[in-house]
């Protein structure tokens, strides 16, 4: 039986009394659907936020691990630099020592004594090593120029050579002066 829009079917508890219940029921169903949609949206949002939080926590932990690794590398490099500052390459290239009255540089004796005869070639080689050492230390002087040539090394003073053909004692004094300049 079909009801027309303007007619009432039974006035004693008919459809008129049920209409508000049906309307409220339909409204409640609509609200439930809205709540389910909101709940689904909230669950999806919570799921997305949870994954984003996990991603950010992973990124943060990776950054912390990278920072710790770099800190350890930096600490290691600082220790290595500190140890390398203690190393003197000149000591490795030029072994200088003395025993008794004789001094040596790279196993060549520097000088001779009346009771200890040393071949003049060995003394010249030692003096050449001293000139090479001064060159390695980047000795610069406006008066002197060092010319390293092994046991035939030269010191030029005002454009003439002192060691090979001039007075040997004057050449040694000039070499000692050069060493003093480096020491200061």
Instruction: Kindly tell me if the per-residue pLDDT of 59 is higher than 70.
Output: yes
Give me the pLDDT at residue 1, please. Answer: 45
Give me the pLDDT at residue 158, please. Answer: 64
Give me the pLDDT at residue 74, please. Answer: 97
The tokens for 53 are 């939080």
Least confident of 10-24, 76-90, 115-129: 10-24
Instruction: Kindly tell me if the per-residue pLDDT of 138 is higher than 60.
Output: yes
Q: Where are the alpha helices (DSSP H) in the chain?
A: 15-86, 89-93, 120-136, 168-183
Least confident of 13-22, 93-102, 124-133: 13-22
């Amino acid at each position: 039986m079909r009801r027309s829009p303007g007619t009432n079917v039974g006035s004693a508890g008919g459809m008129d009394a049920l209409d508000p219940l049906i309307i409220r029921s339909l409204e409640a169903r609509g609200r439930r659907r809205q709540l389910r949609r909101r709940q689904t949206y909230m669950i999806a949002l919570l799921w997305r936020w949870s994954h984003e939080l996990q991603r950010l926590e992973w990124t943060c932990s990776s950054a912390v691990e990278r920072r710790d690794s770099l800190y350890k590398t930096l600490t290691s490099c600082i220790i290595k630099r500190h140890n390398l500052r203690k190393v003197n390459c000149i000591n490795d290239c030029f072994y200088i020592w003395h025993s008794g009255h004789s001094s040596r540089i790279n196993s060549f004796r520097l000088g001779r004594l009346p009771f200890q005869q040393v071949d003049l070639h060995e003394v010249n080689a030692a003096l050449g090593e001293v000139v090479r050492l001064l060159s390695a230390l980047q000795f610069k002087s406006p008066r002197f120029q060092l010319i390293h040539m092994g046991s035939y090394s030269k010191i030029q003073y005002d454009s003439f050579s002192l060691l090979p053909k001039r007075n040997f004692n004057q050449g040694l004094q000039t070499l000692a002066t050069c060493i003093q300049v480096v020491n200061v």
